[in-house]
Amino acid sequence: MSGNFLLFIFLTFLVFLYFFLAGLCRFFDSVFVLFTIHRRESSLLKVG
């Protein structure tokens, strides 16, 4: 009983961790894309 309950908690934690890391990676990816676009525009403005 207690072993199954601990396994359930562990699996729930793994699923939560997976979704949390996926969201974090997506968030950092969007921030990185915005940063590179901003940097590219600033460099183009300097060249122009």
Q: Quick one: which of 34, 12, 15 has its CA closest to 23?
A: 15
- Output the tens digit of pLDDT for each of the chain's 48 residues: 688 999 999 999 999 999 999 999 999 999 999 989 888 887 777 765
Question: Can you give the pLDDT at residue 27?
Answer: 94
The span from the CA of 43 to the CA of 38, in Å, is 9
- Measure the CA dihedral 22/27/28/31, to 10°: 160
3-state secondary structure of 1: coil
Question: Can you give the pLDDT at residue 1?
Answer: 65
Question: Can you give the pLDDT at residue 28?
Answer: 93
